[in-house]
């Protein structure tokens, strides 16, 4: 409910064009990360059981990265600045929370 309220509040305050561009750049960045992860996992962990198959690895992931980055490049500069600001905020939250709640770190104590 908190997340839904936050999204509704954010959506009501931000112009729809800007909101659309921010959603687009975030989704495309997530797709770039997934494509890169597919290639990395195929090299580093070829023994993992895969619940889905990706054809023509690494061609499909590379094309996915190129197309997504091309689409991201068409977005305006303000959207890129917003992306980096949100990424920095997210990384700060992630790492400050992770330092205190890491299972690996707490297991070593």
Q: What was the pLDDT predicted at 109? A: 66
Q: How far is CA 109 from CA 100, 104, 105, 106, in A?
A: 12, 9, 7, 5
Average pLDDT of the chain is 92
Residue that has been written with the tokens 């509704």 in this structure: 8
Arithmetic mean of pLDDT, 28-56? 92
Arithmetic mean of pLDDT, 43-57? 89
pTM for this structure?
Answer: 0.83
Domain ranges of the chain: 16-108
Q: What percent of the chain has pLDDT over 70?
A: 98
């Amino acid at each position: 409910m908190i997340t839904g309220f936050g999204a509704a509040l954010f959506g009501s305050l931000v112009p729809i064009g800007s909101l659309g561009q921010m959603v687009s750049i975030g989704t495309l960045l997530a797709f770039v990360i997934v494509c890169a992860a597919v290639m990395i996992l195929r090299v580093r962990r070829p023994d993992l059981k895969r619940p889905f198959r990706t054809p023509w690895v690494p061609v499909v992931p590379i094309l996915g990265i190129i197309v997504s980055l091309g689409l991201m490049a068409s977005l305006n500069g303000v959207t890129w600045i917003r992306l980096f600001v949100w990424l920095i905020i997210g990384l700060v939250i992630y790492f400050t929370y992770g330092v205190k709640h890491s299972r690996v770190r707490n297991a070593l104590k």
